[in-house]
Structure 1
Amino acid sequence: MWTAVTVSDRLQDVQAIRDVVACYCRGIDRLDFDLVRRAYHSDGVDHHTGFDGTVDEYISWVSRSLDYLAGTMHFIGNHHVDFVGDDIAISETYVMATHWGKPGTDERANFTTGARYVDLMKRRDGRWAIAERWAVREWTRPDVFVAPEQPGPRGTRNADDPLIVLLKRFGL
């Protein structure tokens, strides 16, 4: 059912949906699976390359899949939201995700992929989250990684990551 929605309300909805996608990417890159889980409704479904199932099954699968990697970095590009009523939306987000393996792993673990997250988003109890996701892979290319050129801050997937350190400093 449609109700009168102001431009301000709709912009807030679009931002809330974008935040869901951004939090999902942060969760995957930092191995924060509670954050990944929060991107989905509890009965959410995910369709990825090599996986189809519930959000709980997805968390189990993706955590094992990412364990052999040294890191990932998801970059969000174009994002469009089509609303289907007040509490249902279809979100399409372009993503480039780089994956790199731990030393000694198969070189095929080093790749960048271009994909689209096609998400059925629903607002329940005032919260937008993924009800169903299709991670549509468009292309993949192999990558060659080199050692860091200079000492300096490096990302980690644990409590030593600069983001986590800063968030904890302020009690977040």
Structure 2
Amino acid sequence: MTVARQRSEWSDRQEIHDVVLRYCRGIDRLDFDLVRSAYHPGAIDHHTGFEGTVEEFLAWVEPKLRARLGGTMHIVGNHLVELYGDVAIAETYGTFVHWGEPADDPRVNFTSGARYVDHMTCRDGRWAISERWAVREWTRSEAGRFVAKEGDGPTGRRDEHDPLILLQRRIAPAKPENGR
């Protein structure tokens, strides 16, 4: 039995915020199905060095993230949503950290301040990105600045052995299709 979800301004705002967070987790964990779930089919993405559909974006970004980047961490801050019925504008500020090999390469080891300016739409009861502008405000080189951990402990991974994935498997054995 399917239960119809009643929408409210609060639930729409929360779902839009979750779209942004799913995108960030998907990029950071190399879960491209999760990234895809943040967009509607045929959505357009504008990133530094790229403009095209979400499928073209994924084909462009995946090899970049897998090749030399040891990891990324998307930290979101201010998030403002302007709702207009089934259409919304979301602006999300963030700091995005990138690291990898070689450690002295500033094109691999950098931190950026950016904003996601998203045209969001609700289609068939699901909010997702219809068009995104990843607006880079600044970039700082971190080349040669990262240091090793000071001791043993949990380490982030971009595969099935990441602590998040292990916990999800233990607590929620069936992964939902929409990433929630």
TM-score by length of 2: 0.88
1:43 positional shift: 1.1
SS in 2 for 1:11: helix
**Quick check: 2:119–2:129 contact (8 Å CA) kept in 1?**
yes
State the alpha-carbon separation in 1 of the partners of residues 121 and 102 from structure 2.
Answer: 41
- The alignment of Structure 1 onto Structure 2 pairs a total of residues equal to 165
Moved over 2 A (4+): 102-108
Q: For residue 15 of structure 1, what is the aligned residue in structure 2?
A: 14
**Quick check: 1:101–1:107 contact (8 Å CA) kept in 2?**
no
Which AA in structure 1 matches 2:118? D
Which AA in structure 1 matches 2:79? H
Q: Could you tell which deviates more after superposition, 101-110 or 89-98?
A: 101-110
Which AA in structure 1 matches 2:158? R
State the alpha-carbon separation in 1 of the partners of residues 117 and 141 from structure 2.
Answer: 24
Q: For residue 147 of structure 2, what is the aligned residue in structure 1?
A: 146
Q: For residue 70 of structure 1, what is the aligned residue in structure 2?
A: 70
**Quick check: 1:81–1:91 contact (8 Å CA) kept in 2?**
yes
Q: 1:117-132 to 2 correspondence within 5 Å? A: 117-132=116-131
Q: Report sequence identity in percent.
A: 59
1:103 positional shift: 4.6
Q: Could you tell which deviates more after superposition, 114-123 or 140-149?
A: 140-149
Q: 1:92-131 to 2 correspondence within 5 Å? A: 92-103=91-102, 106-131=105-130
SS in 1 for 2:158: coil
**Quick check: 1:119–1:133 contact (8 Å CA) kept in 2?**
yes
Q: For residue 163 of structure 2, what is the aligned residue in structure 1?
A: 162
State the alpha-carbon separation in 1 of the partners of residues 107 and 18 from structure 2.
Answer: 31
How large is the Cα RMSD of the aligned pairs?
Answer: 1.4
CA gap of 1:152–1:64, structure 2 versus 1, over 3 A, is same
Unaligned runs of 5+ residues in structure 2 are: 1-5, 176-180
State the alpha-carbon separation in 1 of the partners of residues 97 and 32 from structure 2.
Answer: 19
1:125-171: per-residue Cα shift (whole Å, max 9, x none)?
00000000000000000111011111100000000100000001121
State the alpha-carbon separation in 1 of the partners of residues 47 and 92 from structure 2.
Answer: 14
